């Protein structure tokens, strides 16, 4: 069934627009050969800009299992930010949540039928222990029902630009585990699907917009309902956290997932030496071709080791940089006839080692600021934005980013380096007279030249 779904969606996958076209063919081929990630889908990106360093079947929808919970986390944190939900808000357990929270083989903290739980407790159970019943409870709190919440998930997916995603429930289980009580509009065997690019994009938004999520995601162990008969030790399923079995330096998130349909999945993120990366593996398998709990972490380690060892974060363009041949822009109606321009700030970017000189600056002037002749009109204030500057590989390759927002992080404003005051009426008049007679003289000279 998995292969059928994979082929169905892969055949209909849409190409991304030119502005996010494929990053460096030769370099990506090098990464492809060096990594050889054993998974149906995988991706490695710079977490600050969303620059894609490596991907395998990046646009192909695949099972995601409990990585789904990142969308539930995103919507919860958004609701808290907007004051729609409070951390100390209490929840009374519904019949569905009670039933779904009892099976321990589904990753759960059993919730009492007559119990009351705070949003914070349920959130920690979801983010640390991947508790499914607690996740559905949060869906009910935010959406009123899980069915309505799933609609919110799919709507948010569209707004975030997730083109190859379909959610059928809030937690990532196969719908058969609902025993006929799955969210409305979905079938009894349906399961959530996302492409590696979509998973990485969701993670990118989550950790950049709500960075505190990493404080919870990096918690190796927490006790649920300490001091009560319901006490449960919640051990984080992300065994790559530094203090756990497959500890990795700098690892602090983000979400595992496993079902028969999805296989072993993991969205990881780690930070070292001023660099942070996001990785995704879907249906990871070991060297023997079989999937197991460890395989997703082994494949993640491959990508992170590659990223930290073969890339560096460098200043590509310094502050107050002036593009050769474009250090000034002509000005009309000003006391000066041109103005110096430079970058307001520097451009820092994660690049492959030794590739700093492989990039060229690209200057884009604001069409609303310049006339058809490429001139600015006085007055102009020092620091006024004139356009922006970005960088591209000199060899003509294009850099691929997850989002337009990320791409803008490697753009800097180009501003006026000085004031240019507007010339007074007398100066403008005299210039006009001078231009008039200059045009007349040019006409006469041209005519005379024609006679001889």
What residues act catalytically? 66, 69, 130
Task: Find out whether 157 and 143 touch, Cβ atoms under 8 Å.
Answer: no
Residue 301: CB atoms within 10 A of its CB come to 17
Task: Find out whether 264 and 300 touch, Cβ atoms under 8 Å.
Answer: no
> Which is nearest to 123 in space by CA: 93, 169, 88, 175?
88
The answer for residues whose C-beta is within 8 angstroms of residue 52's C-beta and 6 or more apart is: 23, 43, 44, 45, 58, 197, 400, 401, 402
Task: Find out whether 59 and 195 touch, Cβ atoms under 8 Å.
Answer: yes
Over the Cα atoms of the chain, what is R_g?
28
């Amino acid at each position: 069934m998995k292969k059928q779904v994979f082929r169905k969606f892969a055949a209909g996958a849409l190409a991304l627009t030119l502005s996010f076209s494929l990053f460096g063919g030769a370099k990506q081929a090098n990464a492809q050969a060096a990594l050889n990630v054993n998974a149906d889908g995988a991706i490695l990106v710079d977490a600050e800009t969303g620059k894609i360093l490596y991907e395998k079947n990046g646009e192909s929808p695949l099972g995601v299992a409990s990585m789904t919970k990142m969308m539930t986390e995103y919507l919860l944190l958004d609701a808290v930010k907007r004051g729609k939900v409070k951390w100390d808000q209490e929840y009374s357990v519904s019949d569905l949540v009670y039933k779904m929270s009892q099976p321990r083989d589904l990753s759960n903290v059993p919730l009492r039928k007559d119990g009351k739980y705070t949003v914070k407790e349920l959130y920690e159970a979801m983010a640390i222990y991947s508790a499914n019943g607690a996740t559905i409870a949060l869906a009910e709190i935010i959406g009123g029902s899980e069915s309505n919440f799933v609609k919110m998930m799919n709507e948010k997916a569209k707004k975030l630009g997730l083109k190859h995603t379909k959610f059928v429930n809030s937690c990532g289980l196969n719908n058969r585990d609902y025993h006929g009580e799955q969210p409305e509009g979905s079938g009894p065997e349906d399961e959530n699907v996302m492409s590696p690019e979509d998973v990485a994009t969701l993670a990118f938004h989550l950790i950049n917009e709500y960075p505190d999520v990493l404080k919870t995601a990096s918690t190796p162990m927490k006790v649920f309902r300490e001091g009560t008969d319901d006490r449960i030790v919640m051990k984080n399923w992300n065994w790559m956290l530094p203090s756990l079995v497959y500890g990795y330096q700098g690892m602090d998130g983000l979400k595992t997932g496993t079902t028969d349909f999805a296989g072993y999945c993991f969205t990881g993120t780690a930070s070292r030496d001023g660099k942070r990366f996001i990785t995704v593996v879907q249906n990871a398998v070991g060297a023997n071709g079989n999937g197991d709990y460890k395989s997703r972490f082994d494949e993640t380690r491959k990508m992170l080791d590659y990223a930290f060892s073969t890339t560096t974060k460098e200043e590509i363009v310094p502050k107050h940089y002036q593009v050769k041949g474009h250090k000034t822009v002509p000005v009309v109606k000003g006391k000066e006839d041109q103005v110096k321009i430079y970058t307001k700030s520097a451009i820092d970017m994660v690049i492959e080692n030794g590739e700093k000189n492989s990039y060229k600056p690209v200057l884009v002037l604001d069409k609303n600021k310049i006339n058809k002749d490429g001139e600015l009109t006085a007055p102009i204030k020092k620091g006024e934005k004139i356009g922006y500057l970005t960088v591209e590989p000199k060899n003509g390759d294009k850099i691929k980013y997850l989002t337009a927002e990320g791409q803008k992080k490697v753009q800097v404003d180009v501003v006026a380096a000085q004031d240019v005051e507007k010339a007074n009426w007398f100066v403008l008049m005299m210039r006009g007279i001078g231009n008039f007679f200059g045009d007349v003289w040019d006409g006469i000279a041209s005519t005379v030249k024609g006679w001889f």
